[in-house]
C-alpha cells in the first residue's frame, strides 16, 4: 500500500524553526548525554605525588565518577540564586551557563572515603538544548519569558552576546587515503591515515619509492622506518606472517619479497631494538627498548588503542596480553595501508578524491565542545593535584571541596567561546550571530567552514563537487578569498551523529561474516 505524503506537511517539517538548527541541537544533546561522561571516564583518576601520608606511606589519588549538568542559574550579590533565562542573560550581560556537578572520591591506600558531589564549573548552554530552561516550553510560555516564538535557538550567550559555533569540515580520520606525490623527480605512491583518539591526531604515512621499498613515518620518529622491520617490532615473527598481513595477491608478493630482502631484523626483539635505536641513539639498550614500546603503543595508529579496556592499568593481569593484541591489530592495519599503496602502483585503485564528501567529516557544536571540555578538564585535574599536594605539604586535612576551584574550568570553557580561538590553533570557530534579518540568522546557523588557508588557490577544494548535491547549497557562498571555502547546508540536509554502542556494532559485523583478527575476541 502506497502512502501519499502531503507536500505541505513535508515542507513544514523542513522549513520550521525546529529544523533550522536541529543538527546543532542533536550534536550538543549527544555531548550532554554521552560525550561529557566519556571524557570524564577517559581521565578517571587524578594521581598525586603525596608521600608520607599516614603510617604506611599509602598513595593518595582521586577517582572521578558520574557527571551531570543542571539548568542555567544566576547567583546574585547577596548569595541568592534563581533560574536564568536567555532574555535576562542578554539584558544583564551574563553568561548563559549551567553548573556541572561531578562525583569525586578521595582514596588513600585501601581507604576509600565517601563520594562527594562538587561543582566543578559552569558549562555554556546552547539555547533550545536539553539543558536550556526554554526546553519543551510552549510558544506562549516562551513569549512570557521574553523570547521570540520564531527564534530557532542553536547558539550560546557569552557576556550577553549571542555566539554561534561554526560547523567545521575536515578530512575523515581513521580512514586510509591514497595519493601520488613527487620527490626528486620520481613518482612516489603514498597511503596515509589521520589516526585520531581522545583528541590526539597523528598522521601515519606509508610510502613506496621507485625501488619498491616501503617506508613508514609517524609522529615522534625522525625520518622513516623500514616497513618489514616495523611489522616485526609489532609482533609478526615470520616472513609469512608479514606477507599474509599485507596480501596474498601474486603481483604484490613480488614487491613484498623485495621488502623482506631489504629488512635487517629477524625477530620481534630485534625489531623493537631497531625502532629504539632510531628513537634514542647512544642510549642504553633497556632505555631504547622501553622508549620504542612507549612510542609504538602511543604514537603509532593511536585510534586502535580503544581496544585496551580503560579499567585495566599497567601491571594488572591481562593488560600485557591486551597490549600485544593491539600491536598485532596495528600491524594488520599497516598491512592494509601497504596493500593500498601497491594497488595504487598496480593501477588496481585510483587515488582518493579528498573533495569527495564520503571522505569528509563535519565537526558540529557537540564535537567542538567535547574537544574544549577535554582540554579544560585536563587543566582542572592538574590544578586539583597541585591543590591537594600543597595542602599535604602544609599538613592540612585533604578535602576535595577545597581543592576544586570551579573558576579554572569555567574560564577555560568561556574564553574560546567569547574569542573564537579554539583548541588546536583554529580561529573564527565561535562567531557573533548575524542578526541583520531572519534569513541571515538561518544562514549563519547552517554555515560550514573549511580549515584550508584563504590565501592559497585550492582550486579543486573551492569547486562545486557532485557529491555535495543535496548536502551543500550550490549558490550560497561568499565572494572573494572565502569563495568555496565557506559553504552552507542545503535545506533538506540530515546530519548523522554516529553510534555510542560499539559492542552492538561489533556483534552486527561478526553476524554478517566479518572475521576478527588473530588475537581479537
Type and span of the H or E element at 383:
helix 365-393
Grid coordinates representing 229 are 622491520
Work out the angle between the directed axes of helices 239-246 and 319-345 (0-180°, nearest 10): 60
Residues 6-44 pLDDT 10s: 667 777 777 777 788 899 999 999 999 999 999 999 888
Instruction: Write down the domain spans for the chain.
Output: 7-165+364-451, 177-354
**Is the entire prediction scored with pTM above 0.85?**
yes
Q: Work out the mean pLDDT of the chain and round it to a whole number.
A: 89
Quick one: which of 168, 161, 202, 169 has its CA closest to 369? 168
Q: Residue 353 — pLDDT band, cuts 50, 70, 90? A: very high
Helices (H) and strands (E) in the chain, counts: 18, 19
Overall average pLDDT of the 261-285 stretch: 91
For the stretch 120-154, pLDDT in tens is: 999 999 999 999 999 988 989 999 999 998 899 99
Are the beta carbons of 189 and 362 closer than 8 angstroms?
A: no
Q: How many CB atoms lie within 10 A of CB 135?
A: 15
pLDDT band at 362 (very low <50, low <70, confident <90, very high): very high
Residue 257 C-alpha cell reads as: 619479497
Mean pLDDT over 300-306 rounds to 89
Cα–Cα distance, 339 to 247 (Å, whole number): 6
pLDDT in tens, 460-470: 999 999 999 99
C-alpha–C-alpha distance, residues 216 and 222, integer Å: 11
CATH number of 177-354: 3.90.1110.10
Instruction: Find the mean pLDDT for residues 479-501.
Output: 87
CA distance 380 to 397: 20
Which pLDDT does position 339 carry in this prediction?
94
- Read off φ and ψ for residue 495, nearest 5 degrees: -110, 120
pLDDT in tens, 113-128: 899 999 999 999 999 9
pLDDT band at 521 (very low <50, low <70, confident <90, very high): very low
pLDDT score recorded for residue 111:
84
Q: Cβ-count burial of 216 within 10 angstroms (0-12 exposed, 13-18 middle, 19+ buried)?
A: buried
Angle at which helix 268-279 crosses helix 285-298, to 10 degrees, equals: 90
**Phi, psi for 496 (deg, rounded to 5):** -85, 155
Grid cell in block for residue 454: 584563504
Neighbours of 64 (CB within 10 A): 22
Q: At what angle do helices 406-419 and 365-393 cross, to 10 degrees?
A: 150
DSSP alpha helix (H) spans, 267-308 = 268-279, 285-298
Residues 6+ apart with CB under 8 A from 351: 178, 179, 180, 344
Tell me the C-alpha distance between 427 and 421, whole Å. Answer: 4
The predicted structure's pLDDT at residue 173: 92
Q: What are phi and psi of 179, to 5 degrees?
A: -160, 165
Confidence of residue 447 (pLDDT cuts 50, 70, 90): very high
SS3 112: strand
DSSP state at residue 5: P
Contacts of 434 (CB under 8 A, 6+ apart): 440, 441, 443, 444
Region 340-348 average pLDDT: 93
Is 7-165+364-451 a domain of CATH 3.90.1100.10?
yes
* Percent of the chain whose pLDDT exceeds 90: 63
Amino acid at each position: 500500500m502506497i502512502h501519499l505524503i502531503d507536500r505541505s506537511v513535508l515542507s513544514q517539517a523542513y522549513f520550521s524553526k525546529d529544523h533550522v538548527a536541529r543538527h546543532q541541537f542533536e550534536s550538543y544533546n549527544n555531548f550532554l548525554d554521552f560525550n561529557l561522561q566519556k571524557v570524564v571516564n577517559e581521565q578517571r583518576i587524578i594521581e598525586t605525588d603525596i608521600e608520607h601520608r599516614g603510617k604506611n606511606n599509602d598513595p593518595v589519588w582521586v577517582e572521578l565518577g558520574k557527571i551531570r549538568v543542571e539548568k542555567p542559574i544566576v547567583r546574585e550579590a547577596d548569595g541568592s540564586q534563581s533560574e536564568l533565562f536567555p532574555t535576562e542573560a542578554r539584558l544583564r550581560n551574563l553568561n548563559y551557563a549551567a553548573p556541572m556537578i561531578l562525583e569525586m572520591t578521595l582514596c588513600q591506600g585501601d581507604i576509600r572515603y565517601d563520594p562527594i558531589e562538587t561543582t566543578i564549573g559552569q558549562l555554556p548552554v546552547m539555547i533550545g538544548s536539553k539543558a536550556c530552561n526554554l526546553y519543551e516550553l510552549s510558544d506562549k510560555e516562551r513569549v512570557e519569558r521574553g523570547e521570540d516564538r520564531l527564534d530557532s535557538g542553536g547558539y550560546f550567550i557569552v557576556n550577553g552576546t549571542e555566539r554561534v559555533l561554526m560547523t567545521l569540515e575536515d578530512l575523515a580520520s581513521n580512514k586510509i587515503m591514497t595519493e601520488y606525490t613527487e620527490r626528486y623527480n620520481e613518482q612516489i605512491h603514498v597511503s596515509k591515515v589521520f589516526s585520531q583518539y581522545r583528541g590526539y591526531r597523528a598522521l601515519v604515512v606509508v610510502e613506496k619509492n621507485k625501488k619498491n621499498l616501503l617506508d613508514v613515518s609517524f609522529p615522534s620518529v625522525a625520518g622513516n622506518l623500514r616497513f618489514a622491520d616495523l611489522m616485526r617490532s609489532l609482533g609478526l615473527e615470520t616472513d609469512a606472517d608479514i606477507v599474509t598481513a599485507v596480501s596474498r595477491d601474486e603481483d604484490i608478493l613480488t614487491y613484498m619479497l623485495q621488502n623482506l630482502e631489504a629488512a635487517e631484523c629477524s625477530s620481534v626483539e630485534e625489531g623493537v631494538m631497531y625502532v629504539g635505536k632510531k628513537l634514542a641513539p647512544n642510549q642504553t639498550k633497556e632505555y631504547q627498548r622501553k622508549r620504542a614500546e612507549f612510542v609504538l603503543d602511543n604514537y603509532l595508529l593511536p585510534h586502535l588503542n580503544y581496544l585496551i579496556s580503560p579499567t585495566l592499568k599497567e601491571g594488572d593481569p591481562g593488560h600485557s596480553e591486551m597490549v600485544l593484541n593491539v600491536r598485532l591489530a596495528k600491524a594488520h592495519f599497516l598491512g592494509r595501508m601497504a596493500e593500498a599503496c601497491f594497488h595504487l602502483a598496480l593501477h588496481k585503485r585510483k587515488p582518493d578524491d579528498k573533495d569527495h564528501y564520503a571522505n569528509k567529516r563535519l565537526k558540529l557544536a557537540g564535537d567542538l565542545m567535547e574537544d574544549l571540555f577535554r582540554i579544560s578538564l585536563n587543566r582542572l585535574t592538574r590544578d586539583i593535584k597541585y591543590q591537594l599536594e600543597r595542602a599535604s605539604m602544609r599538613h592540612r586535612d585533604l578535602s576535595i571541596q577545597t581543592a576544586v576551584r570551579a573558576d579554572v574550568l569555567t574560564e577555560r570553557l568561556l574564553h574560546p567561546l567569547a574569542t573564537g580561538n579554539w583548541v588546536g590553533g583554529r580561529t573564527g570557530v565561535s562567531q557573533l550571530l548575524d542578526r541583520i534579518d531572519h534569513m541571515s540568522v538561518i544562514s549563519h546557523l547552517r554555515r560550514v567552514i573549511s580549515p584550508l588557508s584563504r590565501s592559497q588557490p585550492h582550486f579543486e577544494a573551492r569547486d562545486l563537487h557532485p557529491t555535495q548535491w543535496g548536502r551543500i547549497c550550490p549558490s550560497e557562498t561568499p565572494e572573494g578569498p572565502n569563495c568555496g571555502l565557506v559553504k552552507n547546508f542545503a535545506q533538506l540536509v540530515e546530519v548523522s551523529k554516529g553510534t555510542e554502542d560499539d559492542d552492538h556494532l561489533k556483534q552486527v559485523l561478526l553476524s554478517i561474516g566479518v572475521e576478527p583478527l588473530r588475537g581479537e575476541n
